[in-house]
């Protein structure tokens, strides 16, 4: 359990605001798979949301399946961030997060993101204005930071302590500097120093979480109360489910089978079509299949087929062709039933076993021309 101000959630696991990837369909997918305590929107430009820019409205879109929701805002002390925070509260945000750590040029060049680490006095004054703007609503404000701009300018411990003093209710720390971007490895000692610097608010660790044990190791070593997962979720959105199980039982459970992963991709496609339309869905899966494929063994023909697909039905057909048991497709995905998954006696499949499944499916795909076109023969993951 983790609390940020008055907002409490059962799992101390947060889906990061992944620039360009953390849209509503993906957030709902991760929540359906289980284990997500809080999910965040993509980075929201304060000017764009106040103007009602169509792209900003798409990034901020939510629905009842997407709760509790954090909206992350970026800008600087000359921008209307307090007004944007009030807008976010009015449009469904349970938590407001200020981006103080993004190293991407389009954010930092506007004096937002990581550049806020370079003048901590101005940054603390900005945070106080945002806190005061939403204080009457009771919605907590948090901050996401890096350790500092570079190794000669480590400011996160001092900044976190000052942010707490003006009402920031939690701080997420990515354990690298801005100069590092995503190079090297996360500095757990640096995250631990931020934990030691604050009095009472939770510190959430972030960086290099690609397996369930990475999250528990980070929490144990640094003392952080929660973990935010970003890039690791893009290829394994079931990481929250398995990490939650590890935290609860000491066992992450089995790696999803090859068939399970195909089901997850299919469910992602269906959510994209439902929430963004077929054109956007196809374009998204054209790109995202390469991330999913990193965990699925030798599936180059499948990745290439989906990359070149132009309709949602074509993607569904390609996925169906690769189901390990093509004539007896499961009606739903076990990952959507955490209790059943936890009780399963199935022997966990190793990455090598997944690779073998992929090779077997590839062989069948090469020799089999038959396609199923009847809707009753397609696989339909449960929407739970």
Catalytic residues: 102
User: Quick one: tokens of 348?
Assistant: 């966990």
CA distance 86 to 89: 5
Interior/surface letters 45-73, b for 16+ CB within 10 angstroms, e for the rest = bbbbbeeeeeebeebbbbeeebebbbbbb
CA distance 292 to 146: 27
Whether 66 contacts 30, CB under 8 Å: no
User: Quick one: tokens of 19?
Assistant: 């620039």
**Torsion region of 255: left, alpha or beta (phi above 0 gives left; psi -120 to 50 gives alpha):** beta
CA distance 229 to 13: 7
CA distance 360 to 33: 26
Q: How far is CA 346 from CA 81, 341, 384, in A?
A: 50, 9, 22
Q: Which helix (H) or strand (E) holds 143?
A: strand 141-146
Q: What 3-state DSSP class applies to 244?
A: helix
CA distance 84 to 73: 8
Nearest CA to 324 out of 364, 269, 351, 291 is that of 364
CA distance 268 to 357: 21
Pure H helices in the chain: 24-33, 46-51, 54-60, 81-90, 105-108, 120-134, 156-165, 188-197, 212-222, 231-235, 239-249, 258-276, 278-293, 300-308, 312-321, 338-343, 351-367
User: Quick one: tokens of 147?
Assistant: 């350790």
Per DSSP, 375 falls in state G
């Amino acid at each position: 359990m983790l609390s940020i101000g008055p907002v409490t959630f059962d799992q101390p696991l947060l889906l990061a605001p992944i620039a360009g990837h953390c849209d509503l369909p993906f957030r709902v997918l991760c929540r359906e798979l289980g284990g997500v305590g809080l999910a965040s929107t993509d980075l929201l430009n304060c000017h764009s949301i106040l103007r009602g820019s169509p792209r900003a409205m798409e990034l901020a879109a939510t629905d009842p399946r997407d709760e509790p929701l954090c909206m992350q805002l970026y800008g600087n002390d000359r921008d209307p961030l307090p007004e944007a925070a009030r807008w976010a509260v009015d449009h469904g945000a349970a938590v407001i997060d200020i981006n103080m750590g993004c190293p991407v040029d389009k954010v930092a060049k506007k004096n937002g993101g990581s550049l806020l680490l370079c003048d901590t006095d101005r940054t603390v004054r900005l945070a106080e204005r945002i806190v005061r703007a939403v204080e009457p609503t009771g919605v907590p404000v948090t901050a996401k930071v890096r350790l500092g701009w570079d190794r000669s300018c480590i400011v996160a411990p001092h900044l976190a302590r000052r942010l707490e003093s003006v009402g920031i209710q939690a701080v997420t720390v990515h354990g690298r500097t801005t100069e590092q971007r995503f190079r090297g490895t996360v500095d757990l000692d640096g995250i631990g120093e931020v934990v030691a610097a604050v009095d009472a608010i939770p510190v959430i660790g972030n960086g290099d979480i690609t397996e369930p044990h990475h999250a528990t190791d980070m929490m144990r070593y640094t003392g952080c109360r929660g973990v935010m997962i970003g890039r690791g979720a893009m290829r394994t959105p079931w990481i929250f489910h398995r990490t939650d199980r590890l935290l609860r039982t000491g066992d992450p459970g089995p790696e999803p089978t090859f068939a399970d992963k195909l089901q997850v991709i299919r469910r992602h496609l269906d959510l994209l079509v439902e929430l963004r339309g077929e054109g956007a869905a196809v374009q998204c899966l054209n790109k995202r299949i390469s991330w999913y494929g990193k965990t699925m063994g030798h599936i180059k023909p499948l990745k290439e087929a989906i990359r070149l697909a132009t309709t949602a039905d074509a993607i569904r057909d390609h996925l169906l062709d690769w189901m390990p048991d093509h004539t007896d497709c499961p009606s739903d995905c076990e990952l959507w039933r955490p209790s059943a998954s936890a009780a399963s006696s199935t022997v966990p499949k190793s990455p090598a076993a997944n690779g073998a499944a992929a090779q077997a499916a590839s062989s069948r795909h090469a020799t089999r021309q038959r396609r199923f076109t009847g809707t009753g023969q397609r696989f339909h993951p449960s929407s739970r």
